């Protein structure tokens, strides 16, 4: 399943110079595949699309940013809604 993640942090909690934006998630995860990754640096926001089959794996993936960032997680798909009968 695909998930869109919007991860934000305050300027005070900015990881710039302290591991960088990628320090807010587990880049070495074997259970979560990063499909895409983008930054809105002036807005202190990361955007990711990831793939995993287990929400627990997603939570573990985001654990490095806990307490420093807020993550909004949205399941997404490239398949359209089926037409009503």
Residue-wise pLDDT for 30-71, tens only, equals 999 999 999 999 999 999 999 999 999 999 999 999 999 999
Taking residue 62's Cβ as centre, other Cβ atoms within 10 Å add up to 21
pLDDT value for 77: 93
- Whole-number Cα distances in Å, 21 to 60, 77, 82: 17, 25, 37
pLDDT value for 75: 96
60 three-class SS: helix
Fold of 2-76: Alpha-Beta Plaits (3.30.70)
- Whole-number Cα distances in Å, 36 to 3, 76, 84: 11, 13, 32
- pLDDT class for 26, splitting at 50, 70, 90? very high
Burial (Cβ within 10 Å: 0-12, 13-18, ≥19) of residue 7 = buried
């Amino acid at each position: 399943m695909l998930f869109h993640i919007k991860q934000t942090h305050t300027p005070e909690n900015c990881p710039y110079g302290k591991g960088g934006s990628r320090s807010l998630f587990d880049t070495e995860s074997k259970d979560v595949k990063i499909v895409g990754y983008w930054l809105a640096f002036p807005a202190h926001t990361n955007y990711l699309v990831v793939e995993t089959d287990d929400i627990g794996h997603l939570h573990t993936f985001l654990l490095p940013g806990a307490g420093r960032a807020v993550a909004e997680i949205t399941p997404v798909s490239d398949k359209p809604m089926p037409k009503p009968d």
